[in-house]
Amino acid sequence: MKENNKNSRMKKKKLTSDLTLYFNKNFPVVYSTKSGKRYTVYLGLGGNIGDVFKRFDNLLKRFKYDTNIVLIETSLLLENPPFGYLEQNYFLNGVVKIGTNMPPYYLLKSMQKYEKRFARVRTFQDAPRTLDIDIIFIQINGRNIQINKKDLIVPHAGWKYRDSVKIPLKYMKSNIKSKNKAYSDERK
């Protein structure tokens, strides 16, 4: 099994031979219960090049200083095999719940800028990457909104078939305790 660099303060739990959960000081964390922002957004994080744990920690630091983003919660992290193109390292994936007033297309452009700051290069579909940020869900007043455009599909296409999204979402404290699960309408 090919693995990402590990932080010595990281705890792990093996789910299967191919799936491992990781916990550290930033994953999982509940920062606040409400953001005071118009949109609640679930972002999927992924990466499999270099020290992805450190990169995720650095991304959270940047989010904390971004006045357009309020951190609400982070999931645990999941190490899992790649799909599509299989000749690459295992991926580390997680989910970050944020609040923002950025409309969906501005949010998309903002997340693409973050990817570039962390050296993301788009070569081909399912290629290895330093950082991938996907918009999984966008909510207004607790209700999922849908967008189906060429460059933005929300909820994210195929999310319900990906352990890399479903498992971190399942373990988020707000989804465990809340009757208003982000993805409850989508699973039916």
The secondary structure of 114-162 as a DSSP string is HHHHTT----STT---S-EEEEEEEEETTEE--EEETTEEESPTTGGG-
Longest dimension (CA), the chain: 43
Domains contained in the chain, CATH given: 31-182 (3.30.70.560)
Distance of CA 179 to the CA centre of its chain: 21
Give the pLDDT confidence of 7-45 residue by residue, as tens digits.
Answer: 556 899 999 999 999 999 999 999 988 899 999 999 999
pTM of the model: 0.88
* 3-state secondary structure (DSSP) of residue 52: helix
Tens of pLDDT, residue by residue over 80-119, are 999 887 888 999 999 999 999 999 999 999 999 999 998 8
At 181, list the tokens.
């699960």
